Amino acid sequence: MESIRIKKQVVDRIINHAKKDLPNEACGYLAGKEGIITTHFELTNIDKSPEHFTFDPEEQFDVLKKTRANGLDILANYHSHPKTPARPSQEDVKLAYDPNIKYFIISLATDTADIKAFKIVNSKVEKIKIEITD
């Protein structure tokens, strides 16, 4: 099984972002170097919806400029599912255009946040192991 490494502080921050944006879905980018996610970028869900999200295009472009300027790569994006499990919806799969990044989903459907990562290529979903580092 393929895996991806992510700093514990980033996991904590994206879970907090998901909780902060309730009842709507939260979304953003995850960036790092050499396959290790070291930072996150919160983006505005311009749909303001509990069932889907759309990145703010201006913020999205800003993040791309910041990551390049800092020598980072966008390794994944993330979004939350306020009331459903941490697995890609049909819409998530349909909108997974970039085969080179991973897709993180944070579910807040239970008392404990559940976070999972996926590789989605040509509508084929493959679960990715998350390795949390210090």
pLDDT (tens digit, 9 = 90+) per residue, 71-90? 999 999 999 999 999 999 99
Q: Which amino acid is at 3?
A: S
Domain of 61, CATH number, reads: 3.40.140.10
Instruction: Report how far residue 1's alpha carbon sits from residue 17's, in angstroms, rounded to the nearest whole number.
Output: 28
Contacts for 57-65: CB closer than 8 Å, 24+ residues apart? 60/29, 63/29, 63/31
What's the Cα-to-Cα distance from 13 to each of 26, 28, 71, 133, rounded to whole Å? 12, 11, 21, 14
Structural domains counted in the chain: 1
pLDDT in tens, 35-50: 899 999 999 999 999 9
Q: What is the pTM of this model?
A: 0.95
Print the domain residue range for 32.
Answer: 3-133
* Residue pair 31/2 in contact by the 8 Å Cβ criterion: no
Helix (H) or strand (E) holding 65: helix 57-69
Q: What is the dihedral of CA 38, 22, 127, 11, to 10 degrees?
A: 20
Q: What integer is the mean pLDDT of 30-37? A: 95
- The whole-number pLDDT of residue 129 equals 96
